[in-house]
Structure formats: structure tokens, C-alpha cells
Amino acid sequence: MTFKRSFPPVVDAQTRVLILGSLPGEASLAQQQYYAHKQNRFWHLVGDVIGEDLPAMAYADRLQALLAHRIGLWDVVAQARRTGSLDGNIRDHSGNDLVTLTDGLPQLGSIAFNGGTAARIGERILAAHARRYRVERLPSSSPAYAGMPYAAKLAQWHVLRECLADGGRGR
């Protein structure tokens, strides 16, 4: 089993909210695109939060729309062994350098984890460093997390509006 690797971060100096997933799944790795699996609801959730039809856009335009709304994107796992796409199958992982990335984002106020695995790994990597930011644990956008209906996920993802509106630090 070979190591699977994350993609480069999608951020710029204006990034206010950083959404962190775990590690791209098989469809994403094959297409070299974040959240490429057709049943993953990430682009729908974020699009509904920011009022943009992200699923209808070309991939490069989606990324530009995120940046225009001051949203960044990355993964907590730099590389890992994993059979299939399930987070539960992640083995021998090494984390991305979240501390260096977040230190280089002067406008960053909030970090949002897309799912429990991303939160567990990311919170360990950031440890005390995360106190500088508002940290949100969001329900996973993955099709594997089917126990929560879309409307309920969206209700929780709407916290990103607050993060964007208040600079990310308020609560």
C-alpha cells in the first residue's frame, strides 16, 4: 500500500476562515481536486453558506470563489496509508504543518474542521496554538456520514457565516 498525499493549501493573505478536512478520498486523488466525489456535500454546504452556486462552477472557479469569500482550504493529514476513502482506514499518517500555515495567515480568525477525524488530528497538531482562533467542529460533508440529513448539516455549517462576519474570533 502506497502513501496517499494531500494537496497544497488553498489560501491567501486575506483568508479569514480555514476549513480543514482529513485527507482526500479516492475520487479526489484521481481528479486532483478537493471534494471531487459526486456525493460529497462540501461544495453544496459552503455554497449555501456563502450564497454561491459552487457545484455549478468549474473547479478553479470554486477555489477562486472560496478565496474571494476569505475561506481557505487544506487537510490535516500530509500523507498516510489508507485503503479506500474512509477516514477510519487512515494508518501511519503524518500531519501537515498547520502551525506554520496558520502563522502565515494574518487575517485568520477561525479554523473549522470538516468531520471528527479532521478535528481529532488537527487539534493535536495545533494543540495550544489553536487558542488564538475560534475553532469549530463541523459535521462531515462525506457521503460516508449519512446519519445526518443535509439540512441538519447545513444548520451547523452556517456558523461559518458568523466566523466570516466577525473576523472569526467572536463567540
- pLDDT tens for 21-30 read 987 877 887 8
Query: Which positions are annotated as active-site residues?
Result: 40
Q: Looking at residue 7, what is its pLDDT?
A: 87
Q: Looking at residue 171, what is its pLDDT?
A: 40
Record the pTM.
Answer: 0.90
Q: Looking at residue 170, what is its pLDDT?
A: 45
Please name the CATH architecture into which domain 3-165 falls.
3-Layer(aba) Sandwich (3.40)
SS3 13: coil
Pick from 170, 171, 159: which is nearest to 45 by CA?
Answer: 159
Q: Is 20 left (phi over 0), alpha (psi -120 to 50) or beta?
A: beta
- pLDDT tens for 29-53 read 788 999 998 889 999 999 999 999 9
SS percent in the chain: helix, strand, coil, step 5: 40, 20, 40
Percent of the chain with pLDDT over 90: 57
Q: Looking at residue 145, what is its pLDDT?
A: 66
Please compute, for residue 25, the number of CA atoms within 13 A of its CA located in the half-sphere on the CB side.
Answer: 17
* Positions of the chain with pLDDT under 50: 90, 170-171
Spans of all domains in the chain: 3-165
Q: Looking at residue 86, what is its pLDDT?
A: 56
CA 49 to CA 155: how far, in whole Å? 9
Cβ atoms within 10 Å, residue 169: 13
Q: Looking at residue 80, what is its pLDDT?
A: 65
The C-alpha cell of 44 is what? 453544496
